[in-house]
Amino acid sequence: MAISEYNQMDALAYGSRMLNWAPLGKLFLAASLLAVDLISSSFIVPMATAVIGISLMAYSTNLRLPKIVGLLILESLAIIIICSALVSVMPSEGTTIRELSVLGIKLTITDQSFNYALLIFTRSFAGITVMLAFATSTPIPFFANSLRQLRIPPEIVELTVLIYRYSFLMLEQLQTLWNAASSRLGFSSFKRSVHSAASIAVNIFITSLDMAERSGNALACRNFTGTFPVFRPPRRLSALWIAGIAAIAAVLYAVGRYTEGWIDPASLLFGAG
């Protein structure tokens, strides 16, 4: 269930060996890897990115890949496979390697559409590993506080932290109400499920609104001025980080340019192309 995923990912991030790395550095590293992945049409680049992502994830989680990360990868893989399969049957030029008939509709896979679908698959898989490496090492409050370095207005940073904290408040209530409704057979039929879901949503919103108003008053009583103080602020993005990210991105881009066309999966698997 997504609720427990959310809590477990948060706990995982707080226990990460990469917790003290600059959050903005990690974010920009992930973003630059993903951007180079998209620019390059070589299969080597997403493969290299996936290796980087998996290595970072392994280091972040101390080589103990938790079940939750495995489940998230499997869930994402299922979506990627379906999406890539759709792209592979899109009308395109090239040599036909397979013809299928689904529900009376004739589908054709060409060498070009197959290679493109496989490239999307590797890009997406690499993207998932890089994003999970970031997710398993960066709690949202660390990320939100690091945004101050980018001169993001304090109201936006505060709102980001508040949304995050209220999400937990609501998630806790959701879990309780969901279990209560379930134990009263509130999900025993379609009609009851819809009614229970609506009642839970209303109750959560109204009770959270009351609770948030009380917490707002409590913060005001403590001279809250819109900034949540952090005992140990996250590390700032340094010039070394920027240079390192630029170097990695440049190397990957050069590798992509050099290895373009090296791997032709359609030719290797079907002898086409």
Partner 1 sequence: MHIIEGYLPAEWCLLWFIIAVPIVYLGARKIIETMRSDPAQKIPIALSGAFIFLLSSLKMPSATGSSSHPTGTGLSVALYGVTVTAFLATIVLIFQAILLAHGGLTTLGANTVSMGVFGPAVGFLVWRTLRKMKIGIAPAMFMTAALADLSTYVITALQLTLAHGSGDYMWAFTEFMATFAVTQIPIAVIEGIIFAIFADYLHRTRPELFGTECDANEMPEAA
* Contact string 88-117 vs partner 1 (x = CB under 8 A): -xxxxx------------------------
Q: In the set 169, 248, 255, 263, which binds partner 1 (CB under 8 A)?
A: 169
CB of 5 to partner 1, least distance (A): 6
Site for partner 1 in 242-271 (CB under 8 A): none
Which one of 21, 43, 142, 143 is in contact with partner 1 (CB under 8 A)?
143
Cβ of residue 271: shortest distance to partner 1, in angstroms? 23
Q: According to CB under 8 A, which one of 19, 44, 58, 76 is a site residue for partner 1?
A: 76
Interface with partner 1 in residues 191-250 (CB under 8 A): 193-195, 197-202, 204-206, 208-209, 212-213, 215-216, 226
134 touches partner 1 by CB under 8 A: yes
Provide, rounded to whole angstroms, the least separation between the CB of residue 163 and partner 1: 4
Residue 142 in the binding site for partner 1 (CB under 8 A): no
Kindly identify the residues of this chain, within the stretch 23-42, that bind partner 1 according to CB under 8 A: 27, 30-31, 34-35, 37-39
DSSP-assigned states of every residue in 57-115: HHHHTTT---HHHHHHHHHHHHHHHHHHHHHHTS--SS-EEEEEEETTEEEEEEHHHHH
Question: d(Cα 169, Cα 167) in Å, to the nearest integer?
Answer: 5
Assess 57 for contact with partner 1 (CB under 8 A): no
